[in-house]
Amino acid sequence: MIGLERLSACFEGVIPSIIATASADGMPNISYLSHVALVDEGRVALSNQFFTKTAANILANPSVGILLVDPRDGAQHQLTATFEQSLDRGDLFDKMASHLRATSAQLGMADVMALRGVDIYKVASIAAVWSPVGAVASPPPTAEMRLAAATAVTGKISQATEISSIIDAILDGLRDSFGFGATMLLMLEPAGERLVTVGSRGYPWTGIGSEVAMGEALIGTAAVERHSVRINDMSRIRRFGSAIRASSADENRTRTIFLPSLPDAMSQIALPLIAQGAVRGVLFLETSERLAFLQGVEAALSIVAAHAAAALALAEHEASNAPAIMTSIEGAGALAGRPFKVVRHTYDDSIFINGDYLIKGVAGRLLVHLLGLHLREGRATFTNREMRLSDELRLPEFKDNLETRLLLLRRRLDEKAAPIRLRQTGRGRLSLELAGPAHLETVAARG
């Protein structure tokens, strides 16, 4: 007998499943159904959106026939199963409901597809239906392969000691061990309204500093729902994000960094990064392959996400407890090089360098603060603690994530090849480098 887990591709809802029931007098009923989910090796869950006749038959006679179709090659499998119980709450219900909300929202059917209940069935037999053409799809990766990949990535994360190297270990690990080349890591902004990209792999531009609102699309939904959300066949899904790289002129005009995306993505998954019960960010992966994020892969990636969230939270906590992380300004080129102008617009905290949009928010305020201290006081060093206590920075207490903001700022300055850079000179130690004399200007009015 083929195990249910081997049929994981059938549970993606890409090709409708079929359910047959029979009344007490044996008259059958046959209909399509939208969602069948794998519960464990012996049970499946059906979303309860049934027609009345199916529901009445199940009460009279708990035996059902279910036809599952593998969307990769059309192979059919017939299950005989028995109704066990209905659920209208609990983890499984929540997960199915949030998946249904996320996918139906993107289909523009959010109001139509509310989940009323989940029915659990015990599977008695699974039979492959004879095929005139034979099966062509290869089996999905085994549990052992996925576990080995998760072990490799979490092992690398465990070795990393600070935010930037943890993020690199996560994204490189997903590429090297799982083979997922297009990935992004977003951290929750302290105010909790937006997620901001702090690292990515596999896109024409990094998108460092690009933002996604809570609840928006797959990434924002995963953060709000606190569940991973995945789509395995994008052919019917309204696409989100920009496939065309935004020019600097666009960034300057909109004061927005564009979120990168694969133009031909067919599968996407967003996993919340949760540590100590709090959502700290989202890990996002996509690929042009269909059905890449089946349930078993999702489980392995969830292990990586949980480990990543814990490592990032610990690194942030350790950095905030370090008593005196020194930050020095090195002005080697500061007098000799070409002068440049840093402008801060107070109404939205956006920062422009020589007319090019850099960044908004806390990361921008950090840059102005460091540069301002240097210009006003001629100071060469100051501490992490000073930054945290500064009124000018308006860092929300307890949620400041200073290390992450500094990393975001550093990477964005690198990407823009700015005449002012943050260099990491050791663990928790940064230097500010200027390519010429800096002029800092504050503009209060919009424009």
Partner 1 sequence: MLIDGDLAAFLESPVMIILGTSDEYLRPQIGRGVGAMVASTEGRVDVTVSNRQWPMAVANVRANGKLAVTFARPHDYVSYQVKGRASVIDASPSHIASSRQYIAAVSAALVGLGLEDWVAAQWFSDEEPLVLSLAVESIYVQTPGQQAGRTFDRQRS
- Give residues in contact with partner 1 (CB under 8 A): 15, 18, 20-22, 24, 26-32, 49, 51-53, 61, 63-67, 69, 71-76, 78, 80, 129-133, 136, 235
When the beta carbons of 75 and 270 are compared against partner 1, the nearer one is: 75
Measured from the CB of residue 147, what is the shortest distance to partner 1 in angstroms?
30
Residue 341: strand, helix, or coil: strand
Nearer to partner 1, 21 or 210 (CB): 21
Beta strands 43-47 and 36-40, pairing class: antiparallel
The residue (of 82 and 383) whose beta carbon lies closer to partner 1 is 82
User: How near is the Cβ of 52 to partner 1 at its closest, in Å?
Assistant: 5
C-alpha span between 169 and 287 (Å, rounded): 19
Query: Is the CB of 14 or the CB of 259 nearer to partner 1?
Result: 14
When the beta carbons of 32 and 347 are compared against partner 1, the nearer one is 32
Alpha-carbon distances, residue 41 vs 8, 65, 75, 122 (angstroms): 11, 17, 20, 10
Q: Which residue lies nearer to partner 1 by CB, 22 or 306?
A: 22
Q: How far is the CB of 181 from partner 1 (least distance, A)?
A: 24
Q: Minimum CB separation from partner 1 for residue 107, in Å?
A: 13
Cβ proximity to partner 1, 64 vs 319, nearer residue: 64
| Minimal distance, residue 16 CB to partner 1, in Å | 9
Q: Of 82 and 390, which CB lies nearer to partner 1 in the complex structure?
A: 82
Kindly state the helix (H) or strand (E) to which residue 409 belongs, with its residue range.
helix 402-415
Nearest to 220 by CA among 257, 189, 181, 244: 189
How far is 369 from 412, CA to CA, in rounded Å? 17
Shortest distance, position 60 Cβ to partner 1, whole Å: 9
- Residue 112 CA, distance from chain mean position: 26
Planar angle of CA 173, 313, 203, nearest 5 degrees? 40
CB of 241 to partner 1, least distance (A): 22
How many Cβ atoms are within 10 Å of 124's Cβ, its own excluded?
11
Rounded Cα distance between 322 and 334, Å, is 29
- Give the list of residues 6+ apart from residue 178 with CB closer than 8 angstroms, or none: 149, 153, 297, 300, 301
At residue 60, the 3 state secondary structure works out as helix
CA–CA separation, 92 vs 99, rounded Å?
11
CA distances from 286 to 167, 180, 333 (A): 17, 7, 42
Taking the complex as a whole, how short is the minimal distance between the CB of residue 82 and partner 1, in angstroms? 9
31 by DSSP, 3-state: which? strand
In the bound complex, what is the minimum distance in angstroms from residue 18's beta carbon to partner 1? Answer: 5
Please report how close the Cβ of residue 397 comes to partner 1 at its closest, in angstroms.
51
Return the amino acid letter for 115. Answer: L
Give the CA angle between residues 242, 246, 252 to the nearest 5°. Answer: 130
> Quick one: 75 or 312, whose CB is closer to partner 1?
75
A 10 A CB-CB count for 42 gives 12
Based on CB atoms, which residue is closest to partner 1, 39 or 113? 113
